[in-house]
Chain A
Amino acid sequence: MNESQLILTIVAAIGLGTPLIFATVGETITERAGILNLGVQGMMLIGAVSGFWATFHTGSLLLGVIVAMIAGAALSAVHAFTSITLRVNQIVSGLALTLFGTGLASFLGRAGSNPLVGNPSRKVFEPLFSGAITEIAVVGPLLFGHDILVYTAIAVAGGASYYLFNTRMGLSLRAVGEDPASAESAGVSVARVRYIHVMVGGSLAGLGGAYFSLVLVPTWQDDPIGAAGWIAIALVILSSWRPWRAVVAAYLFGAAERFQFTLQTLGEPWSAVPSTLLAMLPFVLAIAAMIVLTSGKRARLLGAPAALGIPYFREQR
């Protein structure tokens, strides 16, 4: 592999990792509040279709992003209601969200007299910088070759990290995820904190989905996001609920997804490796990392929110 191929690969990995950052940070915030939301895949797909739809009809990328975030948050509110107010099983509720979101996204992309399916996006996010700065060797494409959402994703991770560990509200959030009864007696409304952060998580998942339909795969098709939502759920654990680590993990998995294309550019004998086998790489990596990093005694060191997935009964204290 020569230098320019390596740089191209890294740039592509950063692009593929960006939606994973949004979704992983979103789910991290949700889980820090003690709510497990397995609906990431569904929220991302709803974000992808609604963001694409808004940009398609208005020509505005900003509106596309906003609509995607609202749609993701709206779907996550369903999960918030079932898991916080109705206190039913969060695992099944999250799966329900994914199945409904997947079906609804496909439906919305194909419904009506002038369906979205097969249409290219009216606009896509272009690289933020242009001119001399992007032509600097190595540094130019690596640091200045991206669209605005790539930088936004890093800022979101940084902001989430600051919020979680350096603000009063972040402290309340973590308290709710660790020990809701104590948080409640300290005057924190567990239900309100959980609702807000589940919906923040949903809006970030929606944004991650829109990154697919407005940047990575800018022609509407039924399922533009692959398995990104599921990967994001694994990344939350692998980054041990810390947003900065999520950035590193997301880029690593972006690289793993890119790997099959990279091998093809290397020529014989590398290009002979079947792409169907290489497509397994991110999933094999996720399982291997789960077993190595999170099993046995190491599980306790990860710092999973203690109340994750457990319904909270206010009246029963």
Chain B
Amino acid sequence: MMTRRFIVEPRGLASPRLKLAVPIASVIAALVVGGVFLFITGENPFAVYAKMLDAAFGTGRGFSETLVSATPLILTGVAAAIAFKMLVWNIGGEGQLLMGAVAAAGTAIWLGDGAPAVLLLPAVILAGGIGGAIWAAASAIPRVYLGTNEIITTLMLNFIALNFVNFLIFGSHSPWRDPVVATFPSGRPIAPTARLPEFFNRLDAGIFIAIVIAVAAWYLLEKTRWGFAVRIVGDSSDTARYVGISVPKKILGVFLLSGAAAGFAGGLLVSGPVGALDPRSLDLGIGFTGIIVAALARLNLVAVIPVAILIGALSNAGPSLQAIGVPAATVTMLQGAILIFAVAGEFFVRNRLRRPDRVSEPILEAGEPA
């Protein structure tokens, strides 16, 4: 190796200021990289970013749409954070969201107009969570009992779920398909009593449900006995086994909770802004974007909420760019870049760089490297 200009050493506890600085720096760095690509394709990055800011926050309508975009992202962010914290690599948020939507729309259609709203609406949303958990179980059970790699199975189940939704709407005359519109198939609209009330343009009460679920997940993980045991498993499964915790059961529980969170996102979309099992409004990469939310929130289940609003603002700004001739994919590029910098930034949270000639400050607490 060449002579090193810096020595890398593990940091003890990272300060709260640093934990905040890394995500902010990630966003700024991503904007710079995105700006370079915008510039070389002949756009003015500042004009594009100004347009995005205005579209996301500039008007009441824009701000409400930002929160509409943020609502499912809070939940897919929770889904990713809860799993990744325990080293469960659930990358199946897409599929779990879709199957949550299938279950939610199915419940609404099955119970129909007859059921009273006080029962129907909770049943529809809860069905979303159950649908997501069941879909996660298809990966969780082989992982826990057979050791099957969950990265592959959750990913493949995303595509199976998407094709299944397409089958229900485009490939068959299922109860989910609108029987009225014959020319171009679409999802059957659910009963108004199964829809969440809107209070700020298209924004509905779903955002509060998403926030409550995120806080509840945080409480469950940080403040309960079960959560404590789960965190021990996440830190070291050897330690967990040594103190008599059933590791498979904990992994299964975390996996199903993660799937349920993504499924709730599907349930809230169906009972909220989408109002039907509509593949075009549900297959937007919300599950994958949840991974960005989780990473930028540094897997903190409460921090997921503001981060989801930021990432939701980006998602919401995409379509407005087309009006000024800039590809909406600018947004997905920026979101991907944010994730790259957020994950790279973990290096600086965990390590510090020191000049070889300077004496190291004492390390307060032995941090775990990497």
Contact = CB atoms under 8 A, between A and B. Distances in A.
Interface of A: 38, 42, 78, 81-82, 86-89, 91-93, 95-104, 106-113, 115, 189, 191, 222, 227, 230, 233-234, 237, 274-277, 279-280, 283-284, 286-287, 290-291, 294-296, 299, 311, 313-316
Nearest to B139: A287
B181 interface: no
A31 B329 CA distance: 30
B96 to A, nearest CB: 15
Contact of A295 (B147, B160, B369): B147
Given A112-B42, A313-B369, A316-B369, A274 B172 contact: yes
A233 B329 CA distance: 25
A93 B157 CA distance: 21
A181 B164 CA distance: 47
B333 A299 contact: no
B254 to A, nearest CB: 16
Given A89-B346, A104-B37, A111-B41, A311 B370 contact: yes
Interface size class, chain B: 35 or more
B193 interface: no
B340 A96 contact: yes
Contacts of A274: 167, 171-172
B152 A286 contact: yes
Secondary structure class of chain A's binding surface, majority of residues: helix
Contacts of A311: 370
A189 B1 CA distance: 8
B42 A230 contact: no
Contacts of A38: 151
B264 to A, nearest CB: 22
Contact of A286 (B41, B84, B156, B333): B156
Contacts of A191: 1
Most buried by B among A81, A234, A314: A234
B149 interface: yes
Given A38-B151, A93-B343, A103 B167 contact: no
Nearest to A86: B347
Given A103-B335, A107-B37, A283 B171 contact: no
Given A92-B84, A106-B329, A280 B1 contact: no
B295 interface: yes
Given A234-B152, A283-B160, A313-B369, A108 B41 contact: yes
B340 A100 contact: yes
B334 interface: yes
Given A110-B327, A275-B171, A287-B153, A92 B333 contact: no
A88 B147 CA distance: 24
A261 to B, nearest CB: 15
Contacts of A284: 156, 160
10 contacts: A93-B344, A99-B335, A104-B336, A227-B159, A230-B155, A230-B156, A274-B171, A286-B152, A287-B156, A295-B142
B102 interface: no
A100 B149 contact: no
B168 to A, nearest CB: 8
A111 to B, nearest CB: 4
A314 B369 CA distance: 12
A276 B37 contact: no
B339 interface: yes
B262 interface: no
B170 interface: yes
B292 interface: yes
Interface in B310-324: none
Given A93-B343, A95-B291, 18 more contacts: A81-B344, A86-B344, A88-B346, A88-B347, A93-B344, A100-B336, A103-B331, A103-B333, A104-B329, A109-B327, A111-B41, A111-B42, A189-B1, A276-B170, A283-B159, A286-B152, A299-B147, A313-B370
